Structure 1
Amino acid sequence: MKKPTAQRYDVVIIGGGIMGSSAAYNILRKAPGISVCVIEPDPSYEFSSTLRASGGCRVQFSCPENIEMSLHSLEFLKDFENTMTANGRPAPIDWVDGGYLFLVPPEKIGLLEENVSVQREHGARVDLLTPAELKERFPSIYVDDLGAAAHTPEDGWCDPNGLLWGFRRKAVELGAEYIQDKVASASVSNTKAQSVTLESGAYIQGDAFVNAAGAWAGLVAEFFGMPLAVVPMRRFEHYFTSGNPIETLPYVKDLSRLAFRSEGKGFSGGLVDGNEKRGFNFEVDHDYFENVVWPAVAHRFPPLEAAKCHRTWSGLYEQHELDLNPVIGSWNSRLKNLYTVAGFSGHGMMHAPAAGLGIAELIVDGRFTTIDLTRLGYERVETNTPYSETGIL
């Protein structure tokens, strides 16, 4: 991290976490030699959402764009260590082919079947399981109140820290300049974003600007006069162990937003409260596991009745209040050189490889060429037209 070496860059990326680093890497891979600076206030990434995430990547979505981004990411992540070798240093992310298991009650079987049909149409491998088949595959599960499940065995999880630093080191090797500072204001004309002023007083002009500020993206958008309802929402992650024998589990999810997976000798996960008060709050409620998560995991897997929580930590979802789907694209009606890649509402790490590529394609090629992400553009925000997932969070 250093001070800016120039007053103008071809691309100025605001936010050096997983999304900003993916964008920097992909831009420089597509257009070697252009100047890219990444403005990141915290080189330790202490409060980065990625480093507080569970690391999962799944195809179990209903929107085709999210399915396609996941398929791209899964292929990319499985060879990440080699692809992202920088200066002779491999980039291990400890990928685990653990699979995902999505559970629904009887009244939601039709919804699950519809989503599975879309996933299969896009090339995903998905097994639909009856309660009896589910019980046979995962003996510890309680199935009496379940209608069906979808199992995606090629999904999995990785080390978020390794992923972020892998992207960042490779971006630096390709020429990205990381600046330790924070945007304080922006200057715009009637049609373009022109410059940003940093808290240090540094002034940086750019031909293109990328808002990749995660949970802070809504605040960054305000500097440019752009309405963007991306706000921080606290959520907890827990590491816990079972007091009874239990089989290794995939990443288990249900409609209540319970989500947990095997991790070493225990489990990592939680249950997201979508009604959590919005704001930058990192305080930990040490009773949350016992009061909210433990009853849910013990009901679904009775051996976890004796679960013990060893650690709880908090992180932020960059919650897009319009529809919980990200904004990926430029502000075409106003500042065409201002690009946004934010609002992933808990899916940022898994979609960073594809979303960063999409932003790179818009900047370098002028259009999406790998995955058509047009429906995730800012236009739906301007028309207040939500584009939401169906039955999957």
Structure 2
Amino acid sequence: MNTKTSIRKYDVAIIGGGIIGSSVAYFLLQEAPHLAVCVVEPDSTYEFASALRSSGGCRVQFTGEENIAMSLFSLDFIRHFDQRMSTAKQPAYADWVEGGYLFIVPPENAAQLEKTASLQQAQGCTLDLLSPAELKSRFPAMYVDDLGAGVHTPHDGWCDPNGLLWGFRRKAVELGAVYIAARVVGAQCDAAKVLAIQLDTGESVSAEAYVNAAGAWSGDLAGLFGMRLPISPLRRFEHYFTPGSHVGHLPYVKDMSRLAFRSEGQGYSGGLVDGSAVRGYNFEVDHDYFENVVWPAVAHRFPAFEAAKCHRTWSGLYEVNELDGNPVIGAWNSGLPNLYTVAGFSGHGMMHAPAAGRGMAELIVHGRYQTIDLARLGYERVERNQPYPELGIL
């Protein structure tokens, strides 16, 4: 048969071979080794993959029970990634750094931070609730006069997103996943299910289940199936910079303005997300953004950064769920029940990839979640226009 008209058949077709899609493939084959799984990914270099342009942060500091549970599982998985995910041919390297996270808030938000800390502790998280004086004692270079409280989670940290992605991909391939270098350009559906997807190679893929794991492109991909998915790409910047005088080691510092940065080698890495930026697939770098937006914020919080020097700026995309900033995980039960979505993490895809991949695998193989119940993150809330209640999307 001519390859331009051929149909490939699988049990599960995952669209998007980044860190989320590769995690789904891995956990599917862990859960059900007999499955025929393919992953459709147009770019094996991952030039524009969101995870590879991130800072690799992993934290438990959320307010939603599902998000906290996903963090606890995922952080443990990443801590032991090198041992779990090495293949017969190649070792895996996550380069985990247990550098901690520090959320700081003004006085008017201190009560909510204390409430959130209690919830996190109840789910098994280790943390320290700190007063401004305690913050100053622990981080002497920090300006604290306008702060009300902070929460330090010492077992949080960061890792190498590139190592994580390729570790998942190589292990999935070792278990039997087939990666197809192509882009999905169309879908064939009837009233009850997806029948096949068309690729830009001219081939088609037929499967029993289809997974939208296309990240920042997932909203457009959903449209090919007639599904409205409120996920859009948002450009954000990361910067590597150094201070004018000594600051010392810092955990991943985050505040209410969406400033977030951490120690990185001899300097610091991070940025400040502009949530109001125009949506779109824009990777151009604004080299004035650090000086105009980030520098004033870091210099206010740590005066040693008054003489900061930015050495490098790069851009990447958040896959923003415009409804509530949280992922959509589940099947389109009211439309095409064999179309699954795991997308819209809004900047937290890498850190939740292990838990999301496991959850999606459980749902496809067993028809229900076996470990963490992620039903509240399903597509039904989009249809009801009912945001998931999470205050920790910063």
Taking structure 1 as the reference length, the TM-score comes to 0.98
Cα distance in 2, alignment partners of residues 3 and 337 from structure 1:
26
Q: Which residue of 1 aligns with 2:171?
A: 170
Spell out the pairing of 1:280-299 with structure 2 (5 A cutoff): 280-299=281-300
Hey, which bits of structure 1, 4+ residues long, moved more than 6 A?
2-6
For residue 309 of structure 1, what is the amino acid of its counterpart? C
Distance 1:116 1:211, change over 3 A: same
Q: What's the offset of the Cα at 1:336?
A: 1.0
Q: What's the offset of the Cα at 1:3?
A: 10
Q: Which residue of 2 aligns with 1:319?
A: 320
Q: Which residue of 1 aligns with 2:254?
A: 253
Cα distance in 1, alignment partners of residues 5 and 83 from structure 2:
30
Cα distance in 1, alignment partners of residues 67 and 42 from structure 2:
29
For residue 110 of structure 1, what is the amino acid of its counterpart? A
Distance 1:261 1:135, change over 3 A: same
For residue 81 of structure 1, what is the amino acid of its counterpart? D
Contact 1:271 1:293 survives alignment (8 Å): yes
Q: Which residue of 2 aligns with 1:111?
A: 112
Distance 1:56 1:381, change over 3 A: same
Contact 2:4 2:202 survives alignment (8 Å): no
Residues 208-264 of structure 1 show CA distances to partners (whole Å, capped at 9, x for unaligned) of 000000000001101111100100000000001112111100000000000000000
Distance 1:363 1:187, change over 3 A: same
Cα distance in 2, alignment partners of residues 3 and 254 from structure 1:
52
Q: Which residue of 1 aligns with 2:58?
A: 57
Cα distance in 2, alignment partners of residues 218 and 75 from structure 1:
30
Q: Which residue of 2 aligns with 1:66?
A: 67
Q: What's the offset of the Cα at 1:5?
A: 9.2
For residue 267 of structure 1, what is the amino acid of its counterpart? Y
Q: What's the offset of the Cα at 1:388?
A: 3.3
Q: What's the offset of the Cα at 1:389?
A: 1.4
RMSD (Å), alpha carbons: 1.3
**Which secondary structure does the structure 2 equivalent of 1:221 belong to?**
helix
Residues 307-347 of structure 1 show CA distances to partners (whole Å, capped at 9, x for unaligned) of 11000000000000011010000011121111000000000
Q: Which residue of 2 aligns with 1:304?
A: 305
Contact 2:262 2:269 survives alignment (8 Å): yes
Residues 265-323 of structure 1 show CA distances to partners (whole Å, capped at 9, x for unaligned) of 00000000000100000000000000100010011011111111000000000000011
Q: Which residue of 2 aligns with 1:157?
A: 158
Cα distance in 2, alignment partners of residues 204 and 303 from structure 1:
56
Spell out the pairing of 1:14-29 with structure 2 (5 A cutoff): 14-29=15-30
Q: What's the offset of the Cα at 1:33?
A: 2.2
Q: Which residue of 1 aligns with 2:92?
A: 91
Aligned identity (percent) is 67
* Structure 2, unpaired ranges of 5+: none
Residues 125-177 of structure 1 show CA distances to partners (whole Å, capped at 9, x for unaligned) of 11100000011111100000000000000000000000000000000000000
Q: Which residue of 2 aligns with 1:386?
A: 387
For residue 360 of structure 2, what is the amino acid of its counterpart? I
For residue 314 of structure 1, what is the amino acid of its counterpart? S
Q: What's the offset of the Cα at 1:392?
A: 4.1
1:138 maps onto 2:139 in alignment: yes
Cα distance in 2, alignment partners of residues 255 and 246 from structure 1:
21
Q: What's the offset of the Cα at 1:88?
A: 3.9
Q: Which residue of 2 aligns with 1:186?
A: 187
Cα distance in 1, alignment partners of residues 89 and 135 from structure 2:
45
Between Structure 1 and Structure 2, how many residues are aligned?
392
Contact 1:190 1:335 survives alignment (8 Å): yes
Contact 2:6 2:203 survives alignment (8 Å): no
Cα distance in 1, alignment partners of residues 389 and 172 from structure 2:
32
Q: Which residue of 1 aligns with 2:277?
A: 276
1:372 maps onto 2:369 in alignment: no
Cα distance in 2, alignment partners of residues 391 and 168 from structure 1:
29
Contact 1:17 1:164 survives alignment (8 Å): yes
For residue 111 of structure 2, what is the amino acid of its counterpart? G
Cα distance in 2, alignment partners of residues 94 and 3 from structure 1:
42
Contact 2:192 2:335 survives alignment (8 Å): yes
Contact 1:298 1:304 survives alignment (8 Å): yes
Cα distance in 2, alignment partners of residues 168 and 257 from structure 1:
31
Contact 2:182 2:201 survives alignment (8 Å): yes
Cα distance in 1, alignment partners of residues 25 and 239 from structure 2:
32
Distance 1:263 1:5, change over 3 A: farther
Cα distance in 2, alignment partners of residues 86 and 102 from structure 1:
37
Bigger shift: residues 142-151 or 237-246: 237-246
Q: What's the offset of the Cα at 1:74?
A: 0.8
Contact 2:187 2:224 survives alignment (8 Å): yes
Distance 1:363 1:190, change over 3 A: same
Cα distance in 1, alignment partners of residues 393 and 384 from structure 2:
24
Cα distance in 2, alignment partners of residues 261 and 246 from structure 1:
11
Distance 1:5 1:16, change over 3 A: farther
Q: What's the offset of the Cα at 1:27?
A: 0.1
Cα distance in 2, alignment partners of residues 357 and 170 from structure 1:
14
Residues 370-393 of structure 1 show CA distances to partners (whole Å, capped at 9, x for unaligned) of 101000000001111111312542
Q: What's the offset of the Cα at 1:189?
A: 1.3
**Which secondary structure does the structure 2 equivalent of 1:7 belong to?**
strand
